[in-house]
Structure 1
């Protein structure tokens, strides 16, 4: 949705949604919400434990419920989890309730950025490349479907990447300040 008072950040694992999202929130004076952190806060355990106990299906139900709640807040920057776009209802909510920024990265960039990361349950195991490629085939078209703006990844520091995003967002986002009421 453009114009909007909300900015939503989507993209694959390792795209920088949380790191860039925090900087964008500070720049635009918006409260920052990381959807995975909200899930952890509500459950009292980390995402990996939710996956272990409830499986991916249980995690996705929790994710959808919190995405609905968080995306209703006016004037928020929400960084979603990489798989939040899998549910059609989540894609609809994101597209209707905010300006959607897609941080797009290559498989190579993901592998480089996630080389030491052991916390992501869907990347557990040996062949990360194959898993990331399979996720990209399914999720890439879904990101594209709802994105108002796509920003390709680059080999740069988070600060430089955030500044590049701000420059592009400023040219495209018709920001409405918190004069809107929460979406139905």
Structure 2
């Protein structure tokens, strides 16, 4: 098996990818990237604006370019957007360039974590229904590419971060 040096965080919105990624970055002294933030930085506008102007397809094209660019790096932690895994090509890319960690969470937790965030274009109306639909569609794809799955419900950031590090040590002999 090829040695995997990057840590890739996948999961639904509100699962803690960015928060856990930042903590891992500090604990492991690795560079952290958030694909959504990188898209906003590159375009100079927020994601909801891109969705409004270009639709989801336009956003996914931008996301694919960013993912391809970031996954060429070595020794990074990458938090992906919730829908990043929609394309098989991107799922394959993520699988080969790092250890993929699926941060799994319930719809209830997602609702509580995203309730006050108006930057989530897919949650502007009927949040519960949308999250259920996205869960049914995407959870099998997260599971498909996951090397490690960690449930984040009712867990503190430090606890999840510690679990990730311990599993990486045990399973991949990293750190």
Q: Note if contact 2:150-2:160 (Cα within 8 Å) is conserved in structure 1.
A: no
CA distance in 2, matches of 1:82, 1:173: 25
Aligned length: 175
Aligned-residue Cα RMSD (Å) equals 1.4
TM-score by length of 2: 0.95
The answer for unaligned runs of 5 or more in structure 1 is 177-184
Gap regions ≥5 residues in structure 2: none
Counterpart secondary structure, 1:39: helix
Query: Which shows bigger deviation, 159-168 or 13-22?
Result: 159-168
1:139 has 2:138 as partner: yes
Query: Counterparts in 2 of 1:117-128, with a 5 A limit?
Result: 117-125=117-125, 127-128=126-127
Alpha-carbon distance between aligned partners in 1 of 2:149 and 2:172, rounded to the nearest angstrom: 12
Alignment of 1:148-159 (within 5 A): 148-159=147-158
Structure 2 distance, partners of 1:19, 1:35, is 13
Counterpart in 1 of 2:70?
A: 70
Change (3 A) 1:2 1:113: farther
In 2, the alpha carbon distance for the partners of 1:175 and 1:5 equals 8
- TM-score for the superposition, normalised by structure 1: 0.90
Q: 1:122-178 CA deviation, whole Å, 9 max, x = no partner?
A: 1111x21110000011100100110000001231322222223222232223439xx
